[in-house]
A and B are shown apart, each in its own frame.
Chain A
Amino acid sequence: MAGMKTATGDYIDSSWELRVFVGEEDPEAESVTLRVTGESHIGGVLLKIVEEINRKQDWSDHAIWWEQKRQWLLQTHWTLDKYGILADARLFFGPQHRPVILRLPNRRALRLRASFSRPLFQAVAAVCRLLSIRHPEEMSLLRAPEKKEKKKKEKEPEEEVYDLTKVVLAGGVAPVSFRGMPAHFSDSAQTEACYRMLSRPLAPPDPLLLQRLPRPSSLLDKTQLHSRWLDSSRCLMQQGVKAGDMLWLRFKYYSFFDLDPKTEPVRLTQLYEQARWDLLLEEIDCTEEEMMVFAALQYHINKLSQSGEVDEPAGTDPGLDDLDAALSNLEVKLEGSAPTDVLDSLTTIPELKDHLRIFRPRKLTLKGYRQHWVVFKETTLSYYKSQDEAPGDPIQQLNLKGCEVVPDVNVSGQKFCIKLLVPSPEGMSEIYLRCQDEQQYARWMAGCRLASKGRTMADSSYSSEVQAILAFLSLQRTGGGGSGNHSQGPDASAEGLNPYGLVAPRFQRKFKAKQLTPRILEAHQNVAQLSLSEAQLRFIQAWQSLPDFGISYVVVRFKGSRKDEILGIANNRLIRIDLAVGDVVKTWRFSNMRQWNVNWDIRQVAIEFDEHINVAFSCVSASCRIVHEYIGGYIFLSTRERARGEELDEDLFLQLTGGHEAF
């Protein structure tokens, strides 16, 4: 026991006084002074501190932080000597878990307690467990970008911060599901709301906000983000993060293992959100056609999410839908009417007959639309001069199977046309149908679309298709004309949806809303049948199919080169890119990589590939630690196997990504 004294009050052992501050790195905080020797164990010191403070409190999460060395004293059996602590050490006795605000992939802020003392890798794993996201190794944290001191007049609206700091997760056990969500979320209405925020895609952002947010204008800008990644092998405290700081949680490695839409709504949703924001903020470029598909999917996802439809697996089977329809039909009929009706409902295929104006563009004709009697049955469209001639031979008969259906609509101009490109052995014949009003248009349009896929109007999706078209038309009427300046909260209802919120700003500049809407509508028809999770998955897949997907950019300077270049790091390869033009100069695949080394002194990464190809570069825009960790991380991720399940070989990860602690 340290602190033995003689009668005169002199210490006769080699004990000395150690001052420990209580709290989180606050020099003003209360402090206690202990009498210790170099032989004292950390555990004993902790005990003494608690005794000294003499306050009833749960101290179990507290540990000592050594400020000068930026190190936690976590080995309770080590002695002070072993740690090398002397009387001048500034020690803080504080909690290991502290609140931080995470900016989630969906851009919402969430306050929770994260470990400040474990390596980031573990801290992220714990956070992901709390959020019920599997495969935390794909995620990491980055520092929030420094806020530029811009025009103060625009005061940021108070942002809602979700709070999960009170939620404690029992260690080791897999979270139990309760009422459709992990049990720890079901404690209070507040946490339930938080889970909804995590697991449901959010409404499209306000187009104005979209225009205000910073977007990368060049490859160089895209490198900025990647300089902010935190180090996986060190703890938050060591990296200068303070309690209450804002950090971004993102999918860092673009290698998504075993993505299962059924069982992991949070992971899927957050991934979808990250993909969506990537596209909206032009972090990744896509073509116009691709953007329309993305917009249509967003629209569809938003609609499903707003309508509160949780994914019902039953709803995903179109065959079953048919059946449901048939069944309910049957039941209705059975209740009263004659049996022949049953037959009718099951076997007759509904048809459309109406006067429509038809236009067939031909060379050297100036004829416009002419009125015809049009009959649409099964997948075939026939038109006659007049209704009286209908029993006879039609002027023309078109089988719409496999045809292209293009809406040509202008709501304010009351123009409701359907352009059909009908394939025939001779080529495509073009024909325009002009409808009188929205109702008529929606019915015929829905019929044409189904027919183009070889289905008839008896298909159960017909009525929902009609509804979807009407909804889209109303969308065009309400939101379409405006440029998005009517104030829309983030949760704009489906009707008031602005197409500008669905596309990247450069398309906002390129197209008017009323041009955009029909194109989104056109793309929508191919995805309208998807369930929520299917649509999200489809979105993610389309995102992954983009040529530039999953490339993290860093400015480097290759050995022997005089100019800066860009190094792109993807999950399977490294890409050397010309900084100015953006052209790919050279690609190296990880599968050919023999080894890589980092020279921490000169901040140079050297890589050896098969056949004695050697590459070396120094990192300019980010530290070489980040590049090193990216490479090691991807190598690690490629070692994952389904058989191992959720287990993580953390040591391997740290081995592959660490190694620089010495410096």
Chain B
Amino acid sequence: MGESNEDIDQMFSNLLGEMDLLTQSLGVDTLPPPEPKPPRAEFNYSVGFKDLNESLNALEDQDLDALMADLVADIREAEQRTIQAQKESSQSRPYSASLDVPSFSGAASLGYAANVAAPSISQYEDDLPPPPADPMLDLPLPPPAPEPLSQEEEEAQAKADKIKLALEKLKEAKVKKLVVKVHMNDNSTKSLMVDERQLARDVLDNLFEKTHCDCNVDWCLYEIYPELQIERFFEDHENVVEVLSDWTRDTENKVLFLEKEEKYAVFKNPQNFYLDNKGKKENKETNEKMNAKNKESLLEESFCGTSIIVPELEGALYLKEDGKKSWKRRYFLLRASGIYYVPKGKTKTSRDLACFIQFENVNIYYGIQCKMKYKAPTDYCFVLKHPQIQKESQYIKYLCCDDARMLNQWVTGIRIAKYGKTLYDNYQRAMARAGLASRWTNLGTVNAAPPAPPSTGVKTGTTQANGQIPQAAHSMSTVLGEAQRHVETTKDKKPGLGSHDPGAPRAQPLPKSSLPPPPPMRRSSDVGCGSPGMPPKAKGAAAGFPAPPLDLLPPPPPPPLEDDDLPPPPPDFSDAPPDFVPPPPPPSFAVDAGSSLPPPPPPPPPALAPEAAKQTPVVVKRPPAPPKRQANPGPPGGGGGEQDFMSDLMKALQKKRSNMP
């Protein structure tokens, strides 16, 4: 993070300027008449409360028993009161940009926030309590009457479920986000917004959309520590924000997006890891020849049993002595429970082994040029350290192998021991993703050629925002992030204005923070039928179309039908990151049905066609946006940015309106 604070400050003020502009234009141009021009503060709140409102919406959708209904009513009431109160209190303050103080994100995030939005932070810290607390604050006593003592258990259970739901949604309301600058292999960078629920897999999917790469399984997010000269790939299930939160403010660490075949080598050629007889040459050739069926059964055996099998791995490695530049050769063994070594004068039977390290609290990294830096015997080093350690320390363990093959085996073996079956699941997900991507490229050639060239560089307004991972203040970052992602999506929004729909799909995933983000991404890709954003698991989809992963998704209308009304989305569309808005048709359905019921299957009902037709003009209007944005990233003319913000604003407003009649 070499950029100075000035840059960040500038970016911040830029953004504020943009927002100013946007709110205005929003009021004038894009909003349907009934919507009054929203004061900025109000808008901010709606962003802040977005998720909360949604969650409450969703709650309504549930069949709540009497008690719950009361409770929810109370929460809503309370919330509105709070909103009211906050509105009053904050209208005087121009910079109360963010409500969404990540109250559980801890000191680190505040540190980042300070980096970016120092002036505002104290304000909202002082005056505005974190949103989730508020409803509870005003929570009046729910009437005890609806719960007679007789119905205890079932009711208690149901109640429990609902409160749980409510609590989870409350949690959702405070989501931490980071802007991450990702270095591409062509030395360009891309900045993207990563929220704290996103896993590396989601970020990769996001990047796939932005880069039009081949999406193969070797692509990975890669963190490098120039100072320590270590690096490693993110495992797909890792939470990106969590990892990055361990970096210090002034870090030189970078995130890269590149291909590493080591990432899933074990699944492509398991025999090299499982059947390698400790370097005995004779086996090598036979291993190479292993056929696909045997590989599969080997994988099945190793990863699909009651417990996974960690490759048997042992051999002499060099260990760097703490705090010294000398290396000691020892005999190490890998076991599921950790790395062990044979103490002097002992045998390598289990009972004699001494534990070197266990994996619970450490990550594994490749050491780079350790030969030079630490006088290592070879350059094939791997490093084990606690993820939070960022500086040289005696708690970082350096090990050195004789050759690249051994290094690979050790690193992979340790990853298997540490992550277990998750690794295999990750691989299968990546495979599904890659398979879909290749199918899409085929499909793409069949479809009409995309009208506009992809804006690959994507130097958006945020790219200016130099900090690699500035923790932007909240609603800011929301806007920023979504602006960045949803370049082309405004058009999708418009028809859906005023409907509940954006809320509905969001409510569906309800992530515990570990869950992969949301189905909407699938939705947009399904119906948008031009975007490669595909459901990762829809391997068995018929006719080249990904099967909708959730049952509430409408099956994609047959392409020909749509072709007349909706031009195949331009490739830019794929710039629109996945986890987002529903594409045109669903909203219209949702309006019709008044809920998120699955709309009718392929042959779309007559209602759809007119609706879709109505949407087209909007779509057509916008195509020039991306180039403009590229040419003109600054606040005044920032067409693309403007659009992005607008989409967000509208989304927010939409939701707000539906919640606050």
Binding between chains A and B: yes
Contact between A289 and B306, CB atoms less than 8 A apart: no
- Option from B140, B310, B358, B389 in Cβ contact (under 8 Å) with A424: B389
Asked whether any CB of chain A lies closer than 8 Å to the CB of B448, the reply is no
Interface readout for A383-410 with B: 1 if CB under 8 Å, 0 if not? Answer: 0000000000000000101101000000
In angstroms, how far is the closest chain B Cβ from the Cβ of A608?
15
With A289-B358, A399-B107, A423-B389 already in contact, the answer to whether A591 and B167 are too (CB < 8 A) is no
Which residues of chain A from 310 to 354 have a CB within 8 Å of any chain B CB?
319-320, 322-324, 326-327, 330, 334, 339-340, 342-343, 346-347
Decide yes or no whether B142 CB sits under 8 A from chain A: yes
Bound CA–CA A135/B340 (angstroms): 36
- The residue from A288, A320, A324, A572 contacting B301, defined by CB atoms under 8 A apart: A572
Residues of A with C-beta under 8 A to B279: none
Contact of B306 among A346, A402, A541 (CB under 8 A): A541
Interface residues in B35-81 (C-beta closer than 8 Å to A): none
Do B393 and A326 have beta carbons less than 8 Å apart? no
CB distance from A646 to the nearest CB of B (A): 18
Q: Which of A48-56, A159-167, A178-186, A425-433 contacts B (4 or more CB under 8 A)?
A: A425-433
Q: What residues of B have a CB within 8 angstroms of the CB of A87 in the complex?
A: none
Task: Evaluate contact between A285 and B141: CB separation under 8 angstroms.
Answer: no
Contact B351 A426 (CB under 8 A): no
B139 and A342 form a contact (CB under 8 A) = yes
**Once bound together, how far apart are the Cα atoms of A427 and B297, in whole Å?**
43
- Residues in B whose Cβ lies below 8 Å from that of A582: 347, 349
Answer whether residue B298 sits at the interface, using C-beta atoms and an 8 A cutoff.
Answer: yes
A428 & B337 in contact (Cβ 8 Å cutoff): no
B337 engages A290 (CB within 8 Å): yes
Q: Mark A534-573, 1 if CB is under 8 A from B, else 0.
A: 0001001110111110000000000000000000000010
Complex CA–CA separation, A542 to B358 (angstroms): 14
Contact B338 A289 (CB under 8 A): yes
Which of chain B's residues 355-410 have a Cβ closer than 8 Å to chain A? 355, 358, 360-361, 386-396
Residue tally, chain A, CB below 8 Å to B: 55
Count residues of B near A (Cβ-Cβ below 8 Å): 59
Does chain B have a CB within 8 A of A109? Answer: no
User: Does A587 touch B at the CB level, under 8 Å?
Assistant: yes
Q: Interface readout for B628-647 with A: 1 if CB under 8 Å, 0 if not?
A: 00000000000000000000
Complex contacts, A542 vs chain B, CB 8 Å: 307, 336-337
Contact between chains at B160 and A324 (CB < 8 Å): yes
Residue ID in chain A nearest B280 by CB atoms: A586
Given A289-B338, A426-B391, A427-B393; A256-B350 close (CB under 8 Å):
no
Instruction: Decide: A287 and B335 in contact? CB cutoff 8 A.
Output: yes
Q: Which residue of B lies closest to A426 (CB)?
A: B391
Q: Inside 8 A of A426's CB, which chain B residues have their CB?
A: 389-391, 393
Contacts known (A259-B306, A426-B391, A582-B349); A323 close to B167, Cβ less than 8 A:
yes
Instruction: For residue A410, give the distance in angstroms from its CB to the closest CB of chain B.
Output: 23
A5 at the interface (CB under 8 A from B): no
Quick one: given A256-B306, A545-B337, are A428 and B395 in contact (CB under 8 Å)? yes
Residues of B within 8 A of A330 (CB): 163
Is A411 among interface residues, defined by CB-CB distance under 8 A?
no
Which residue of B is nearest A611, CB measured? B286
Is there contact, CB below 8 Å, between A589 and B275?
yes
In the complex, B452 has a CB within 8 A of chain A: no
Mask of B89-133 contacts with A, CB within 8 angstroms, 1/0? 000000000000000001100000000000000000000000001
Asked whether, in the complex, the Cβ of A289 is within 8 Å of the Cβ of B139, the reply is: no
Q: Are B351 and A506 in contact (CB under 8 A)?
A: yes
In the bound complex, CA of A330 to CA of B310 (Å): 47
If over half of B's interface residues share one DSSP class (helix, strand or loop), that class is named, otherwise mixed; here it is: loop
Q: Within 8 Å of chain B (Cβ to Cβ): is A280?
A: no
User: Please, what's the 1-or-0 string for A16-58, where 1 marks a CB less than 8 Å from any CB in chain B?
Assistant: 0000000000000000000000000000000000000000000
Which residues of chain B come closer than 8 Å to A591, judged between CB atoms?
A: 294, 297-298
Quick one: given A287-B335, A541-B306, are A343 and B137 in contact (CB under 8 Å)?
Answer: yes
Provide the residues of chain A in CB contact with B309, threshold 8 Å: 545
Q: Are the C-beta atoms of B310 and A545 separated by less than 8 Å?
A: yes
Contact of B141 among A289, A319, A339 (CB under 8 A): A339
Q: Is B183 an interface residue when CB atoms closer than 8 A count as contact?
A: no
Assess whether A346 is in contact with B307, with CB atoms less than 8 Å apart.
Answer: no
Q: Which of A245-300 contact B (CB under 8 A)?
A: 256, 259, 285-290, 293
Bound together, the chains give a CA A568 to CA B338 distance in angstroms of 24
Instruction: Name the CB-closest residue of B to A324.
Output: B160
Q: For residue A336, which residue of chain B has the nearest CB?
A: B141
Contact between A334 and B355, CB atoms less than 8 A apart? no
Q: Is B33 an interface residue (CB 8 A)?
A: no
Q: B320 → chain A, closest Cβ, in Å?
A: 15
Q: Are A326 and B167 in contact (CB-based, < 8 A)?
A: yes
Tell me which of B107, B301, B309 has the highest count of chain A C-beta atoms within 10 A of its own C-beta: B301
When distances are taken between beta carbons in the complex, the residues of chain B under 8 Å from A289 are 337-338, 355, 358
Q: How far is the CB of B341 from chain A (nearest CB, A)?
A: 11
Q: Which of B136, B307, B390 has the most CB of A within 10 A?
A: B307
- Bound together, the chains give a CA A259 to CA B304 distance in angstroms of 12
Q: How far is the CA of A174 from the CA of B389 in the complex (A)?
A: 57
Interface contact B395-A287, CB-CB below 8 Å: no
A323 touching B395, Cβ below 8 Å: no
Interface centre among B137, B349, B386, by most A CB within 10 Å?
A: B386
Q: Shortest 5 CB-CB distances between A and B: which pairs?
A: A427-B393, A545-B336, A425-B390, A285-B350, A541-B307
Question: Can you report 22 A-B residue pairs in the complex whose CB atoms are below 8 A from each other?
Answer: A285-B351, A287-B340, A289-B355, A289-B358, A319-B164, A320-B160, A320-B164, A327-B156, A339-B141, A343-B139, A399-B106, A423-B387, A424-B389, A425-B391, A426-B391, A427-B396, A540-B307, A545-B308, A545-B310, A547-B350, A548-B350, A586-B277
* New A-B contacts (10) at CB < 8 Å, excluding given A380-B107, A427-B396: A259-B306, A287-B355, A327-B163, A425-B248, A426-B393, A427-B392, A428-B389, A537-B306, A544-B306, A548-B350
